[in-house]
Amino acid sequence: MAILMDHLISWMIAVPIIGIGILAFVRDEESIRRVAFGFTVVEFFLSLILWRDFDFTLQSMQFVERVEWMPTFNIQYAVGVDGISIVLVLLTALIFPICVLCSWTGITTRVRAYLSLILLVESSMIVVFTALDLFLFFMLWELAMIPMYFMIIIWGGPNRIAAGLKFILYSLAGGLLLLVGVLGLYIKGGNTYDLLVLTEQTYSSSTQFWLFLAFFLAFAIKMPMVPFHTWLPDAHSEAPTAGSVILAGVLLKMGGYGFLRFCLPMFPEASGNFAPYILWLSVIAVIYGGYMALAQSDLKKLVAYSSVSHMGFVTLGIFVFNSQGIQGAVLQMFNHGITTAALFICVGQLYDRTHSRAISDYGGLHKPMPRFVGLFTLFSVAAFGLPGTCNFISEFLVLVGTSYVSFAMVFISIGGILLGAAYMLWMLQRLVLGEPSTKVAKVLPDLSNRELATLIPLAVLVLCIGLYPRPLMEIMDASVIHLIQQTTGLQVPQVSQLLLRP
């Protein structure tokens, strides 16, 4: 037990890799699915232990592990978590068991390879969100793209090759920009990749400008921010269900995490200078994503464009430089991972039954699929921030933080929320109400027990976080305050104390 606790993050990185090794010796497809699911469940329980033993009153990194890896180049295997990264580690560990479950019957070819790629992405994401060495972060950032590429081009839809190439080209462009930033930071930071040391350094204005630009563009492509978003709808529409869930639930968060871990604390002057432009780009993304979603007839593309809108709230909250905005942004990343992943799973469940994503091919689903309709409605109203659901509190905090900067941005962003209500409710009307538009839609089977087990945990989280977000907010309080002090030098109160007093 002591070995587990002393190396908890390393075990979380190793468990999926061990799972891949064991899958190589399992022949029966049903057993392959069970083994992969078992390892993702073990990973989830390890994340709960990490959460249980995390001291949310500390601003410093916890569960830190350091081992010399390539001492000639000052490269270490160094990992640790703070209140921001642990939220994303929890999200990662939660999403991947659900990815295995939602692929149980949808993937029938090369099952071992598919589930091995899922486990590889999970291990890579844990490293990305816990890395304290810049070179280690870069390596796993790039590695995570390769499994996603193969998931799209092998198990994707009819246009999977074009979508996969677009995804990998954008990812490589962002990776090259990140590499430039990493090497520049290594040179200017005293020939070290140690993230904590680099964060404490002071950089000149010109150095901050160019390094910020390299890191910002790399992370903006991954978010993806407008106008770097065009790869996302194609990747989502062609990826298998689990691929879309991983993209929306975890991979997009790499960009937001990069802003918080690198841009703000390392380049505070450049962040402040670029902030007005980034804020307006974020507001444009909120509105643009909503309008594009409203125009879609394809269910997957509708949810994909809604992601562009919702992630606009993340960058909006990050670059207002106050505790309400940043806590709202981190909470929005977690909540978006839950609600959008659930919506993609629901779309995948319909597609498995009809092999159609066209909204016009459905209608009247409340009669043959009442359980599906109940859960789908919950996730749809949560996506546009209905009070009592998880997205409401995160978007509210972002808007509160933005109000200290610009009321005009608040009013425009509220327009994005109204658009979200419009396209989600219109989609629900066409799918759920009225009469079925086809004979197939009249006799669709309702959710199985396995499909219910996939969605119910997400539904519970949507309501629990919406009604009582304090546990998640408290865990990130100290780290958010420390980040703002690094960026602005200001003393700030804890948001959970200000907004959630019992």
Per-residue pLDDT reduced to its tens digit, 392-414: 999 999 999 999 988 899 999 99
Token pair for 291: 């309008």
For the chain, the C-alpha Rg in angstroms (whole number) is 22
**The predicted structure's pLDDT at residue 498:** 40
Query: Is 92 buried (19+), middle (13-18) or exposed (0-12) by CB count in 10 A?
Result: buried
Residue range 40-52, pLDDT digits in tens:
999 999 999 999 9
pLDDT of residue 461: 94
pLDDT at 23: 92
Phi-psi region of 355 (alpha: psi -120 to 50; beta: other; left: phi over 0): left
Residues of the chain under the 50 pLDDT cut: 491-502
Q: Are 412 and 486 in contact (CB under 8 A)?
A: no
The 8 Å CB, 24+ separation contacts for 205-209 are 205/269, 205/270, 208/266, 208/267, 208/268, 208/269, 208/270, 209/270, 209/273
Residue-level pLDDT at 1 = 58
* φ/ψ bin of 444: left (φ > 0), alpha (ψ from -120 to 50), beta (otherwise): beta
pLDDT of residue 295: 86
pLDDT of residue 134: 92
pLDDT the model gives residue 210 = 93
78 pairs with which residues across the strands?
Answer: 66
Q: What are the start-end ranges of the H helices in 105-144?
A: 111-130, 134-143
pTM across the whole model: 0.92
